[in-house]
Amino acid sequence: TQLLEQSPQFLSIQEGENLTVYCNSSSVFSSLQWYRQEPGEGPVLLVTVVTGGEVKKLKRLTFQFGDARKDSSLHITAAQTGDTGLYLCAGENAGNMLTFGGGTRLMVKP
């Protein structure tokens, strides 16, 4: 089983602060995806990173894939209350199977 460890598990910050969420594994993935989940809904894709060292930006969100394709980070600049939610990383293996990390539950307070 390919395990993905996310940290921190919980994060509570004030609006306007910056934060970084980490996703680590001992396994190599063909790609890594980040999803966001809101209460009562299924996860929704934010971004896919494929190449080692790749950096992608989505407005205030910056995603990075580690050089060895085993880890990834999500950085949010100037967090807003609308960023509150559960952030999940998911690794895809060569067989196209998608395995999720435990998630980081983010609360942004006004």
User: What three-state secondary structure class fits 67?
Assistant: coil
Supply the minimum distance, in Å, between the C-beta of residue 84 and another protein: 17
Supply the minimum distance, in Å, between the C-beta of residue 95 and another protein: 7
Supply the minimum distance, in Å, between the C-beta of residue 2 and another protein: 10
DSSP string, 24-58: E-SS--SEEEEEEE-TTS--EEEEEE-STT-EEEE
| Beta-carbon contacts of residue 83 (< 8 Å; ≥ 6 apart) | 60, 76, 106, 108
Task: Name residues contacting another protein, limited to 8-47 (CB under 8 A).
Answer: 30-31, 33, 40-45
Binding-site size for another protein (CB under 8 A) equals 25
Interface map 81-100 toward another protein (x if CB under 8 A): -------x-x-x-xxxxxxx
